[in-house]
Amino acid sequence: MKLVPGPASMELANKVSSILGLRLMELEYKTFPDGESYFRYVSSVENEDVVIFQGTHPPQDKHLLQLCLLSSGAKDLGARSVVAVVPYLAYAKQDRRFKEGEVVSIDVVLNILKQSGVDKILTVNIHAPWIINRSPIPIENLDAVGTLTSYILQINLKNPIILAPGKKGEDMSAAAAKVLNADYGVIRTKRDINTGAVEVSLEDINVNDRDVIVIDDMISTGGTMVKSVNTLKSAGARRIFVGCVHAVMINNADKKILSSGADAIVATDTVPNNYAFVSIAGLLAERLRKL
């Protein structure tokens, strides 16, 4: 197995390679003055099973194309197989036509990756797990919620409750609550398909004077989390800890969340970010060891 550090996920590739005790392949990479990417495999990939680490967090399109170049290039040079480790898989939010005429982006992206020679995708907490069944490439989806929540065990919590927003909220909060041995529930969300604005409600969950941990698979603009924190504060929450797997954090989302009253943010390193106190390198290494 040859491990290839794509430019989007070099640090993570490094961590996984040290856990596995495997050296990373040497890859020559540069960006031309006009912004185009250049790659050269310095040693042979012929007949090798190649594992390319390349997340597709922002700038998504660039990172996606780099993954296509690396995968296609490896196959062109005779690689036997390509596994793409894509800790954050972009475009999974557009998993259907919400409005007539929309492009179902994730299907297009998966087809492009297939055409580029990717044989398997190893990802983490994919935004729309239901696309796995219709994907043209096998997708393995690792769950980092347990690892993320274990970190929160260090905090001395008072009468804690774990909440998670949205459709996957129940599964996510239940998984986290198991680790913390706490109550759990769902924050109901409703997103306007035209403006993207989100409404949240707690329904009959009582958070008064309790420590609340809000877990989400991702924070992008921070809109959902800011609304959640505001609602929890108004409902009398004592302290609010925010945990997410993918800290995409567009437009100072983190600062908005903290200034709305969250006490701390904890994230994993699927996307390079300032709150990556938890690494998914161990999860990835364990899975790759079995491949």
CB of 165 to ligand R5P, least distance (A): 5
Q: Which is nearer to ligand R5P, 74 or 242 (CB)?
A: 242
Return the ∠ at Cα 174 (arms to 286 and 258), rounded to 5°: 90
Tokens of 30: 């540069």
CB of 180 to ligand R5P, least distance (A): 20
Q: Which is nearer to ligand R5P, 160 or 166 (CB)?
A: 166
Residues that bind ligand R5P (CB under 6 A): 165-166, 198, 216-225
CA distance linking residue 190 with residue 218, whole number of Å:
16
Q: Which is nearer to ligand R5P, 51 or 219 (CB)?
A: 219
Beta strands (DSSP E) in the chain are 2-5, 27-31, 37-41, 49-53, 81-86, 120-124, 139-142, 161-165, 183-191, 198-201, 211-219, 239-247, 264-268, 276-278
CB of 66 to ligand R5P, least distance (A): 24
CB of 235 to ligand R5P, least distance (A): 19
- Tell how strand 37-41 and strand 27-31 pair up: antiparallel
For residue 143, the tally of other CB atoms under 10 A from its CB is 18
CB of 70 to ligand R5P, least distance (A): 27
Q: Which is nearer to ligand R5P, 79 or 163 (CB)?
A: 163
What DSSP character marks residue 24?
Answer: B
Q: Which is nearer to ligand R5P, 119 or 217 (CB)?
A: 217
